[in-house]
Amino acid sequence: MKKNNLRLTQIVYSAIIAVGVILMSLIISSVLLRSLRRTTESEISYFIAADAHQMELNVDNYLNNVQQVTALLFSDKDYYLYDATDESLSDYQKIQSETKILNRIVDLGMMNNYCDFGIVYANDKSAGWISQVTGQMFKDGGIYDYFSSLIPEDNLKQDAWSVNVLGNTNRIYYVKRLNPNAICLVSFYISELESVLDVPAELSEMNIKLIANDNYVVYSTNKHEESMQLDPYILGIIGDAAGITAVNDDYLITSNRVSNGWRVVCTMPTDTIMAEQVAATKTLVLLVSLITILVLLTIILVMTKLNYSVKGFVDDLDYQAKNDQMTGLLNKSAFRSVTESDLETYNGKQAIAFIMLDLDNFKSVNDVAGHKFGDEVIKRMGDLLREVYGVEGAFIGRIGGDEFAVYKSYNDISRQEAEKRIHDLTNSLYDLFDLHFKDEKEKYGLSVSTGVLVTGAGDYRFDDLYQKADVALYISKRNGKSKPTFI
Amino acid sequence: MRKHIKTLSSVIAILMLLSALASCSSDVSKVRISSQDQAVVITMSWWGNDPRHEYTLEGLSLFHEKNPDIAVDHSYGVWNGYERRYLMQMESHNNCDVMQVNYAWLSQYSPDGTGYYDINQLSDYIDLSQFKEEDLETGMRNGRLNALPIAYNTVCLFYNADMFASYGLEIPKTWDDLFDCARVMSKDNIYVLGMINKHLVLFINAWFEQSTGRKLFDIDGNYIGTKEDIAMILEFYKELTDSKVVMPLYSFEVSSFENLATAGTACWASDSIRYCQPAVDEGMNVVIGDYLRINEDDDSTWYIKPATMFAISSDCEYPEQCGRLVDFLLNDPDFAQLQGTEKGIPVSASARQALLENGQLAGIEYMAGEFINENRSDLLLINPMLENSSFQDLFKDISDKYIYDEVTLDEAATELHRALLGL
């Protein structure tokens, strides 16, 4: 019963420790993963925001360059004050002026890849480079009025940027007023922005868009998005905001405003940027799982080892408490305990045998042959008793230095049959004793006296049986030893 | 008990070892180096108009798709001013690696053949077998293959046949025919021809050479004309404008032919899309007239040249990559289809075959190309000086003074003659 309790306790404690380890692993993993995700998001957001800011600067730089080059037409009044609509000028004067302007534009035009770089006058005449495509767009006239109207009256700089001009979706126009009857018209292909908004190979999944004020996609690394309105989902997240980085489960989005009011919007699927984090998560989960399994295996191993150890230790202590170390027989206390326990238990017993044994002249053995040999004799005597009475399942004890006792209750045979069997066994004991201890008998006069009590069933106490058997033993001793006395 | 402690110690040691191994992966003290996969960047420049810019940019994207190891940075512009940009780049050694060049530039920038890379050395990357010997010869300078021709070009005379028919006039065959037509059309304020300065110079030079049998420049590009020759040219030019044969340069616009302000236009065959296609799109019957002569039976003096050519910088850093780009631009069937006949009918056999198979040998450019092929034997390779921008600019500046009566014929002829002597 006590063993079962111990076992149960061990299982409960093992389970508690195992659950504790698993819970702790889960908590640690969860905390680490959360921390890792936040750190990764934060770090990647930082770098992508830095990259987006660089894109903003690149676009700003490109647009500013166009504006600055155009502004160089203001370096000489002959460039910006010339008015082709002035009727007072002769054709030759106009040729001279326009030739001078063209030379200036040729110089300025070297600064970049322009589609258009020219001056358009109120009569739709132009000087410089007005491309075939732009010319065809206004072949029925109206080029000056159209572009002139793009410039807000309250704009001090008197300039404007425009895209999707009359459905032309592949170039960006810049217009700047030179005088009341002249505007400078500059355009470049949107594809020129490929080198300005170049996606680093390391961020190949990143999508970069240049968005005009009305959320019209001027340029996108995904060509299918160009000339469309910004994806409503993206727009719903960033609204009109600029200088922000937004992250949700779908996208990491940055929005940066450039100098002309347009925005550079970078988007990147969150799955992509967190791919490394997912890989790290898998590694972490694997590692924590491995460690958890190892810890659990260790606990099981240690518990098993401890279990065996404790059980062995307890069994040892139990054995040592109950048995005589020299003979392995029950010691006096244990013998008394098990005998009393049997006597108290009603199990239908019909007969009880209680035998007291004492080695005669054992002192001579110790005195002459030494205690070590004496111990050997006691041990051999124990073996002999086990050989004779052990087959009956009797309790055998060493109750003194050279005194032994045997107890046996019978519930399957009658008292007479029990007497006969005990008598036969005891007689055989003497035969075997003579055989096993022949030398000791001759040299030291070693013999054995026994007092044998066989009774019917009754309310006997240990002391009663012990006393009666001891009297019988005494009788044997008094009557010359080396014999049994049956009562 | 001692045995149990040993077992426990072993387990703890294993756990510590695993932890140490795990921590090794985040050891920041170690230097980790990874290569950056970056393409070789080469540069390319060209001039042209919108269509050329658009298909060339598309072609460069296609080239990068086919050659991910090469990225091409580009620079382009319209012809007017491009030459100055090119001069600046060549003189400052900031020119691009692969360049669309004008035939005239070979003698200007590579008089001894060393001004450009010898393309013969890149025959492993450029399939020169697609070109005939006579084609390759146009790019040879002093035994070195400086450039490869894209197509051939000549100044063609395009007429609105419907307009001539409406006046009961034949398409002009002689110079006198031009004046006869002008007398009829000018009543409606229509000029027979309109053209820009670079075409006008060649146009008038043809008349001068046919009329006198002399040339303004010798084979080495030296000016060999006289003041009288220049006066003769200026006088003829004024006669053309006064008689309303040629529309004044100041008034002529790309749309003049389309808008019926002129009955014809003179331009490079490769420019026919720019100057004539809008008229064709309007439903006009545009035809190519014969080369003008003094008399119908005379031998004509008109010139042919490689329309444009591709050359490689003599000091380019990546010749192989440049060679692969030039091969793509000249011989690749996909690029040939993008390019079509915008520069004329391709000289490269593979490019021409691609256009034939794709049904692209059609339209006004193809018509001009066929015209060149038909008259090839009568055409001379142009003297590069006739295309020299300094010569052309001088002619315009000084002739404008005379045309607009700012100076006399003698003053203009003297100034231009002196200027050409100092060219």
Could you tell me the residue ranges of all domains in chain B?
Answer: 40-152+305-374, 155-301+388-421
Q: Which of A46-50, A419-423, B72-76 has the weakest average pLDDT?
A: A46-50
Across the interface, of A94, A135, A294, the residue whose CB is closest to B250 is A94
* Smallest CA–CA distance from A114 into chain B, residue: B77
Nearest residue, CB atoms, B50 vs list A94, A132, A287: A132
Q: Which of residues 54-73 of B touch A (CB under 8 A)?
A: 54, 57, 73
To the nearest whole Å, the CA of A47 is away from the closest chain B CA by 18
Question: Which residue, A469, A140, A154, is CA-closest to B282?
Answer: A140
Which residue of chain A is at minimal alpha-carbon distance from B251? A91
Using 50, 70 and 90 to split pLDDT, how confident is the model at B11? low
Burial of B15 (0-12, 13-18, 19+ CB in 10 A): middle
- Residue recorded with tokens 């700003």: A60
What is the homologous superfamily of the domain A330-486 according to CATH?
Reverse transcriptase/Diguanylate cyclase domain (3.30.70.270)
B94 interaction partners in chain A (CB closer than 8 Å): none
Nearest to A309 among B4, B49, B76 (CB): B4
* A256 has a pLDDT exceeding 80: yes
Mean pLDDT (whole number) for B148-169? 95
Residues A151-210 have pLDDT tens digits of: 999 888 999 999 999 999 999 999 999 999 999 999 999 999 988 888 777 777 889 999
Tell me the range of A351-365, B65-79, B320-334 where mean pLDDT is highest: B320-334
- Equal fold, B40-152+305-374 vs B155-301+388-421: yes
Share of chain B above pLDDT 70, in %: 91
Domain ranges of chain A: 76-192, 330-486
Q: Which chain B residues touch A133 with a CB distance below 8 Å? A: 50
Please report the residues numbered 87 through 106 in chain A whose beta carbons come closer than 8 angstroms to any beta carbon of chain B: 90-92, 94-96, 98-99, 102, 105-106
The Cα of B37 is separated from the nearest Cα of chain A by a number of Å equal to 8
Structure tokens of A408?
């046996």
Q: At residue B360, does pLDDT exceed 80? A: yes
A316 touches chain B (CB under 8 A): no
pLDDT for A66: 95
Provide φ and ψ at A463, rounded to 5°.
Answer: -65, -35
Tell me the CATH class for B40-152+305-374: alpha beta
Which of B15, B53, B400 minimises the CB distance to A95? B400
Residue of B nearest to A298 (CA): B11
Residue B378 to residue B234: CA distance in whole angstroms:
27
> Which chain B residues touch A291 with a CB distance below 8 Å?
15, 18
Mean pLDDT score of chain B: 89
For residue B313, give Cα distances in angstroms to B68, B109, B120, B248, B310.
22, 11, 14, 39, 10
Query: Which among A196, A197, A192, A191 has a CA at the least distance from the CA of A209?
Result: A197
Integer Cα distance of A22 and A7 in angstroms: 22
Q: Tally Cβ neighbours within 10 Å of residue B277.
A: 17
pLDDT at residue A459, rounded to an integer: 83
pLDDT digits (tens, 9 = 90+) for A125-153: 999 989 989 998 998 899 999 999 999 99
- Tell me if chain B has a CB within 8 Å of the CB of A146: no
Model confidence at B260, pLDDT cuts 50, 70, 90, reads: very high
pLDDT digits 0-9 by tens, B30-67 = 566 656 567 899 999 999 988 999 999 999 999 999 99
**Are A135 and B254 an interchain contact pair (Cβ–Cβ within 8 Å)?**
yes
- The CATH number that domain A76-192 falls under is 3.30.450
Q: Tell me: pLDDT of B102 over 80.
A: yes
> Do the Cβ atoms of B78 and A195 come within 8 Å?
no
Nearest to A222, CA basis, from A234, A213, A214 = A234
Pick the more confident residue, B325 or A279.
Answer: B325
pLDDT in tens, A346-391: 667 889 999 999 999 999 899 988 999 999 999 999 999 999 999 8
| Predicted confidence (pLDDT) at residue B80 exceeds the cutoff of 90 | no
Question: How many whole angstroms separate alpha carbon A261 and alpha carbon A189?
Answer: 19
**Any A CB within 8 A of B274 CB:** yes
Q: Which of A43, A93, A113 to mutate to test the interface with B (most CBs of B within 10 A)?
A: A113
Tell me what pLDDT residue B36 has: 59
Average pLDDT of span B308-327: 96
Chain A nearest-CA distance from B133, in A, is 36
The predicted pLDDT at position B328 comes to 98
pTM of structure: 0.68
What ipTM goes with this model?
0.75
- Which chain A residue's Cα is nearest to B258? A139
In this prediction, residues B76-86 reach a mean pLDDT of 83
CATH topology of domain B155-301+388-421: D-Maltodextrin-Binding Protein; domain 2 (3.40.190)
Domain A76-192 matches domain A330-486 at the CATH topology level = no
Chain A CB contacts of B197 under 8 Å are: none
DSSP-derived secondary structure letter, B194: B
